[in-house]
Amino acid sequence: MSVFDGLKFRRVSSPIHMLDPRIKFLYVCSIFVVAIVFFELLPLLVLFLFQIPFVILARVQREWVRSLRGAAFLASIIFGTNILFRFMYAGYSLTANDIEYASAMTMRFIALVESFSIFFLTTSPDHLGLALEKSHIPYEFCFAFTTAVRFVPVLAEEAQTIMDAQKARGLELEKGNFLKRIRNYIPVLIPLIISAIRRSLELAEAMEARAWGAIEKRTNLYSLKMKRNDYLLVLVSIFVLIIGIFVRFYVSIPTLSNLLGF
């Protein structure tokens, strides 16, 4: 299980899915900024909790939990190394503050994963491509982007089939020293490359058959229009950013251990 499993888009209709991807990106950026200006556990915890309503609104709890679970391994490494450094830095002793600092760093990572997963779980690659188009990036690039995303699973499956076919003819991929192993992959790579070339030729034909390049200014099935909720999210993002910066500079943040009276 990897972090990426939790980032796979699934179509659900929810107010969050309907949001303009550009604005969602703005939101992710503001969370990102706030997350990296804090080194204390409390605000990062707040940031983490603050995003949970979004997850629930988007109805992607299950995928979200999965992405957190996927991130658990990396999170524990972050925690471990932080503890280790603190431990060595402080002359081989640990205080509650050190543990809290390590937890804060871990929580920062988790809050970031959370915001990214909200973004990717609720934004279809299609909309992402559309957002690119609307950002005045030439259409050819946007088309290349979406087509590439489209063919990732197809090529992955094909690579697997080719490997199976060659294994069935006695190829042992894991045999031999390093150089030999690389050479073992030639019978897999050549068919894969040839098929990719063949595919692109067929794709080009199909594009032509559907009037590719007929006119200068194409239209688009989807439109991105800022709606009420989008403006709302803009406000929320700015609000988060301002509060975050304000707290950073003007409020002294108590540590959790102080609060709990250690």
Partner 1 sequence: MIEVKNLYFTYPSGVEALRNVSLEIRKGEFVAIMGQNGAGKTTLIKHFNGLLKPSKGEVLVDGVNTESVSVAKLARKVGFVFQNPDNQLFSETVEDEISFALKNFGFKDTPLRRRVTWALKLLGLTEYRKASPFMLSGGERKRVALASVLAWDPEVVVMDEPTIGQDYSQKEKLRQFIVQLNMQGKTVVVVTHDVEFVSECNPRVILMSGGEILADGFGKNVLTNIELLTQASIVPPQVTEIFMGIKDLGFPVDIIDLYEAKELLMKRLGRK
Partner 2 sequence: MAIVKAQSLTYTYPNAEKPALDDVSFEIQKGEFVILTGPSGCGKTSLCRCLNGLIPHFYQGELKGKILVNKYNIVDHPIHELAKHVGLVFQNPENQLFALSVEKDVAFGLENLGIPRKEMIERVDCALKTAGIEDLAERAPHELSGGQQQRVAIASIIAMNPEILVLDEPTSFLDPLGAKRIFKVIGKLNESMDMTVILVEHRLDLAAKYADHVIVMDKGKIALDGKPRKVLNSDETRMLGVGIPKATRLYQLLDEEKALHSRQVPVTADEMGKLVRGALRA
Q: Which residues sit at the interface with partner 1, rule CB under 8 A?
A: 158, 161-162, 164-172, 186-187, 190-191, 194-195, 198
What is the rounded distance in angstroms from the CA atom of residue 181 to the CA atom of residue 176? 6
The count of residues interacting with partner 2 (CB under 8 A) is: 34
- Rounded least distance, CB 68 to partner 1, Å: 19
Q: State which of residues 68, 72, 99, 126 lies at the interface with partner 2 (CB under 8 A).
A: 126
Q: How far apart are CA 259 and CA 257, in angstroms?
A: 5
Q: If binding is defined by CB under 8 A, does position 98 make contact with partner 2? A: no
**Binder of residue 129, out of partner 2, partner 1, none (CB less than 5 to 8 A by kind):** partner 2
Contact, 68 vs 110, CB < 8 A? yes
187 binds, among partner 1, partner 2, none (CB under 5 to 8 A by kind): partner 1
Residue with tokens 């969050």, as numbered in its chain: 16
CA–CA dist 145, 191 (Å, integer): 24
Task: In angstroms, give the least distance from the CB of 171 to partner 1.
Answer: 6
What token pair was written down for 128? Answer: 């992402």
Q: Say which entry of partner 2, partner 1, none residue 162 contacts (CB below 5 to 8 A, set by partner kind).
A: partner 1
Binding partner 2 by CB under 8 A: which of 76, 81, 147, 161? Answer: 147
Which residue has 């979200």 as its token pair?
Answer: 64
Binding mask 151-180 for partner 2 (x = CB under 8 A): --xx--------------------------
Measured CA angle at 124 (ends 120, 127), to 5 deg: 115
The Cα 7–Cα 69 span in angstroms is 12
Would you say 181 or 218 has its CB closer to partner 1? Answer: 181
Q: Which helix (H) or strand (E) element contains residue 71?
A: helix 61-89
Tell me if 124 sits within 8 A of 11, measured CB to CB.
Answer: yes
Among residues 207 and 235, whose Cβ is nearest to partner 2?
A: 207
Closest approach of Cβ 166 to partner 1, in Å? 6
Tokens encoding 182: 């690389």
- Cα–Cα distance measured from residue 61 to residue 52, given in angstroms and rounded to the nearest whole number: 9
Binding residues for partner 2 restricted to 185-244, rule: CB under 8 A: 199, 202-215, 217-223
Nearest distance, CB of residue 192 and partner 1, angstroms: 9
